């Protein structure tokens, strides 16, 4: 299997956005509420049978290709641990408006309450903003008791919920790690590459004004008393979550803290004039410039801004000859709770 450029995979959602993704890709917007593009996805939208799945250029579902030969795609070590599960979902996300305060369950809660094998720890790599900075809100600034959170949700006190979260001012190249359970809200005007566990599980603590049909969809069909058990109520130090980009020295640089390695890895790639990518399954998002991708196995591939690529393990190590800037998204390096 060779590296391939993946076609767009726009996903309709309840919130506005999508124009910034279209501009990055150089295509026409698919609509005012198609704010996500799921890249290299073997994951479906919650409650859907096929929506969300990515297709390869030859028309096959990536999920089917993975099932047919997982070792070629993911490598023998990953396949021995996880089979045909990439353990990763990558998205382009364009927040055309501030997203509501919401939370994602961890794996234990997802298995017990929702029958899902994955929770939804995630990370955001900011690649563009409509303003000089974007304001993200992540984690409670102070401990919150469950009774107070219940009241905020019952009364839909959006002001109180937003005010209780840490405001983070982020710039292109910055990364934010968002463990499952941590409440958060993505700010308007942010275009991000999102890495996450491969599930579509969101509990909207703030739903009024976003979901027209009430709060049923906001709680994933759970009773609120159960749904709120997924929320981390203790304070979070924003410095533990936000990693500003500090280097422009070229090459490949890790973007996320070591704790993220159990869920996914992200690398900032500056091909000026070239950068070497290690062997292994990866989703590559080209965010600026043009380059030639030279895999160890297969022909060179001309790529440019807005292209999203699948790099299979079978292609061997790759060299990116620029000038170009990209984000490389990779599966977990270890299992949650396992040794580094």
177-218 per-position pLDDT tens digit = 999 999 999 999 999 999 999 999 999 999 999 998 778 899
Instruction: Read off the pLDDT band of 340 (50, 70, 90).
Output: very low
Q: Which of 310, 299, 331 is nearest to 65 (CA)?
A: 310
Residue 337 maps to a domain = no
Q: Identify the residue whose tokens are 């150089």.
A: 26
The whole-model pTM stands at 0.95
Coil/strand/helix, residue 10: strand
- Do 168 and 257 have their domain in common? no
Beta strands in 205-335 (DSSP E): 242-243, 251-254, 265-271, 274-277, 282-295, 301-304, 308-311, 318-321, 324-330
- Do 178 and 263 have their domain in common? no
Count of the separate structural domains present in the chain: 2
* Per-residue pLDDT reduced to its tens digit, 53-78: 999 999 999 999 999 999 999 999 99
Q: Identify the residue whose tokens are 């993200």.
A: 136
Full domain range(s) for residue 264: 251-330
Contact 182, 102 (CB under 8 A): no
Write the CB contacts of 270 (distance below 8 Å, at least 6 apart in sequence).
Answer: 248, 249, 250, 251, 252, 253, 322, 325
User: What is the model's pLDDT at position 282?
Assistant: 98
Instruction: Read off the pLDDT band of 12 (50, 70, 90).
Output: very high
Residue 338 maps to a domain = no
User: What is the model's pLDDT at position 328?
Assistant: 98
Question: Does an H or E element contain 59, and which?
Answer: none
- Do 13 and 77 have their domain in common? yes
- Do 180 and 258 have their domain in common? no
Residue 336 maps to a domain = no
Rounded distance between C-alpha atoms, residue 21 and residue 28, angstroms: 9
CATH label of the domain that carries residue 17: 2.60.120.10
């Amino acid at each position: 299997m060779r590296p391939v450029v993946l076609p767009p995979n726009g996903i309709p959602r309840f919130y506005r956005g999508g124009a910034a993704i279209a501009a990055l890709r150089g295509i026409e917007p698919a609509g005012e509420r198609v704010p996500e593009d799921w890249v290299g996805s073997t994951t479906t939208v919650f409650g859907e049978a096929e929506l969300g799945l990515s297709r390869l250029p030859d028309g096959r579902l990536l999920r089917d290709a993975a099932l047919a030969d997982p070792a070629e795609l993911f490598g023998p070590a990953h396949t021995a641990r996880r089979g045909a599960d990439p353990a990763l979902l990558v998205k382009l996300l364009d927040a055309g408006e501030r997203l509501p305060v919401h939370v994602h369950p961890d794996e234990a809660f997802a298995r017990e309450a929702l029958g899902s094998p994955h929770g939804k720890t995630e990370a955001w790599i900011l690649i563009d903003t409509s303003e000089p900075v974007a304001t993200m809100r992540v984690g409670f600034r102070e401990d919150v008791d469950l009774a107070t959170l219940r009241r905020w949700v019952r009364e839909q006190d959006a002001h109180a919920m937003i005010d209780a979260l840490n405001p983070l001012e982020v710039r292109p190249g910055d990364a934010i790690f968002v463990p499952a359970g941590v409440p958060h809200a993505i700010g308007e005007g942010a275009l991000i590459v999102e890495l996450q566990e491969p599930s579509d599980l969101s509990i909207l603590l703030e739903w009024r004004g976003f979901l027209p049909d009430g709060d049923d969809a906001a709680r994933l069909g759970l009773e609120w008393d159960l749904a709120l058990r997924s929320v981390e109520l203790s304070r979070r130090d924003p410095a533990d979550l936000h990693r500003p980009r500090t280097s422009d020295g070229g090459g490949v640089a890790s973007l996320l803290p070591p704790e993220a390695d159990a869920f996914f890895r992200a690398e900032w790639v500056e091909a000026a004039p070239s950068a070497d990518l290690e062997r292994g399954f990866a989703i590559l998002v080209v965010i600026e410039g043009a380059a030639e991708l030279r895999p160890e196995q297969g022909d060179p591939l001309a790529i440019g801004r807005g292209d999203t690529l699948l790099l299979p393990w079978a292609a061997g190590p790759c060299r990116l000859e620029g000038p170009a800037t990209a984000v490389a998204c990779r599966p977990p390096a270890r299992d949650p709770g396992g040794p580094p």
